[in-house]
Structure 1
């Protein structure tokens, strides 16, 4: 596995675009994307919610929803990574999940600042975030009642920004932002490679 990774990195340095075009047509990279989402969701529900007994807030369940979107996108692509329609559908869903989740993670990070403003000697106005309003009745895209269908995963019961968990000085919302940044860094070149490969195929067919 390590040797294959070294060879891939060498190929990427020598021929970046052809290597990325071949990579996005293989299953390995999409398995990694699905595994990353399974890890993030498993951590949220297993470690934080069950082990640490941290109830998910409204924005937390929105972030979970976004990660489920990315996971489903990966599964769709895994059916056949060389099928353009499945690839396009998967990429659109993945980018939707990334953008939606990043937006909610940034909001949650601001609410965390507001919730802990007093700890740093700031008031809500100085923190620039205002009140950390949080609803127990989430509104999912398309009106999906996910909190009713799967309450353990999607029913919010906590207060946005109230968690005190941190690792290496970063809170949960900040790690979520980092995870979406990593998704963007990985998905962007693969998306570009898919577009360029599709254009080449269309030109050769015509």
Structure 2
């Protein structure tokens, strides 16, 4: 007898950096998998992905009741300037309670940087990222990669474990002084993908 089993995975969308303010949003997607099972009890499993912002300390699950996207603010204490990057981070936890391995991979994609109002600052802004084992590693400029269409993928995050996604927003040294005070919006796609934990494979 074959019994369908639903595997839920999460995709979260990050949005809005206004020179040091980062907002992360999340939503669920569903994948199907089937495996043979003896007659018995089938129980549902949770595939929650938790988000904890730094330095704000706000925490939430990536998707709220009813599938509404969650929002976290990564408020910065410093201002962005040429030679003075702004750093922020999100601790992403794999809180699955399913049996098996059910590791999660985190993928961050290419950001979209757009001007606000009649500004012209976007062309001078670079967004970089790296994965780390601790939030304290985010403040170091080493290891960051400028985000391109190729994206950046984490190592597998096991159940009950987490990874730290670090962000670095930099301003070019060639930025015109007349652009001082302008702001940009940065839309940043982030995906949390549930890796297959079914012994016979996932469809």
Which range, TM-score by smaller chain?
under 0.3
Structure with the higher helix share, 1 or 2: 1
Structure with the higher strand share, 1 or 2: 2
TM-score by length of 2: 0.24
TM-score by length of 1: 0.24
Relative contact order higher in (CA < 8 Å, ≥ 6 apart): 2
